[in-house]
Amino acid sequence: MGKNTSMSATPQSVIDDAIQICQELIRIPSVNFGDGKGDEKAVAEYVRKSLAEVGIESEIIDSAPNRSNVVARIAGSDPQRPGLVLHGHIDVVPADASDWSVDPFGGVIKDEMIWGRGAVDMKNMDAMMLAIVRHWARTGYKPPRNILLCFFADEEAGSIYGSRWLVKNRPEIFAGYSEAVSEVGGFSVTVAGGKRLYFVETAEKGIHWMRLVASGQAGHGSMINDDNAVTQLSEAVAKIGNHVWPQRYTTTVKHLFREIAAATGKSYDEKDFRPLLSEISSVARMIGATLQNTANPTQLDSGYKANVIPQTATAVIDGRFIPGFEDELNETIRELIGPHIAIETITRDIALDNPFEGPLVTAMCKALTNEDPEAIAVPYLMSGGTDNKALSQLGIIGYGFSPLRLPADLDFMALFHGVDERVPLSGLEFGVKVLQDFLENA
Cβ contact 237:324 at 8 Å: no
Model confidence at 3, in pLDDT bands (50, 70, 90)?
Answer: very low
Strand order in the sheet with 113-115: 109-110, 113-115, 422-424
Query: Would you tell me how many other CB atoms lie within 10 Å of the CB of residue 1?
Result: 10
How much is the pLDDT for 167? 98
What's the mean per-residue pLDDT of the chain?
Answer: 95
Of 35, 30, 42, 163, the residue nearest 92 (C-alpha): 30
Q: Is residue 1 pLDDT above 60, yes or no?
A: no
274-332 pLDDT, tens digit each:
999 999 988 999 999 999 999 999 999 999 999 999 999 999 999 999 999 999 999 99
| E runs forming strands in 90-158 | 109-110, 113-115, 147-152
**Contacts with 268 (C-beta within 8 Å, 6 or more apart), sequence order:** 257, 258, 261, 262, 276
**Contacts with 190 (C-beta within 8 Å, 6 or more apart), sequence order:** 196, 197, 282, 406, 408
177-182 and 83-89 strand pairing:
parallel
Taking the C-alpha atoms of residue 10 and residue 1, their distance in angstroms, rounded to an integer, is: 15
Q: Please give the share of the chain, as a percent, with pLDDT higher than 70.
A: 98
417-433 pLDDT, tens digit each:
999 999 999 999 999 99
Query: Would you tell me how many other CB atoms lie within 10 Å of the CB of residue 388?
Result: 24
- Preceding amide of 286 cis, omega within 30: no
61-98 pLDDT, tens digit each:
999 999 999 999 999 999 999 999 999 999 999 999 99
Q: Is residue 4 pLDDT above 80, yes or no?
A: no
Taking the C-alpha atoms of residue 274 and residue 266, their distance in angstroms, rounded to an integer, is: 12
90-143 pLDDT, tens digit each:
999 999 999 999 999 999 999 999 999 999 999 999 999 999 999 999 999 999
Q: What are phi and psi of 10, to 5 degrees?
A: -65, 125
Domains and CATH numbers, the chain: 12-200+351-439 (3.40.630.10), 206-241+295-349 (3.30.70.360)
Taking the C-alpha atoms of residue 286 and residue 260, their distance in angstroms, rounded to an integer, is: 15
Taking the C-alpha atoms of residue 40 and residue 91, their distance in angstroms, rounded to an integer, is: 6
Q: Is residue 355 pLDDT above 90, yes or no?
A: yes
Sign of CA dihedral 224, 316, 242, 293: positive
Q: Is residue 6 pLDDT above 70, yes or no?
A: no
How much is the pLDDT for 145? 97
159-177 pLDDT, tens digit each:
999 999 999 999 999 999 9
Taking the C-alpha atoms of residue 61 and residue 199, their distance in angstroms, rounded to an integer, is: 33
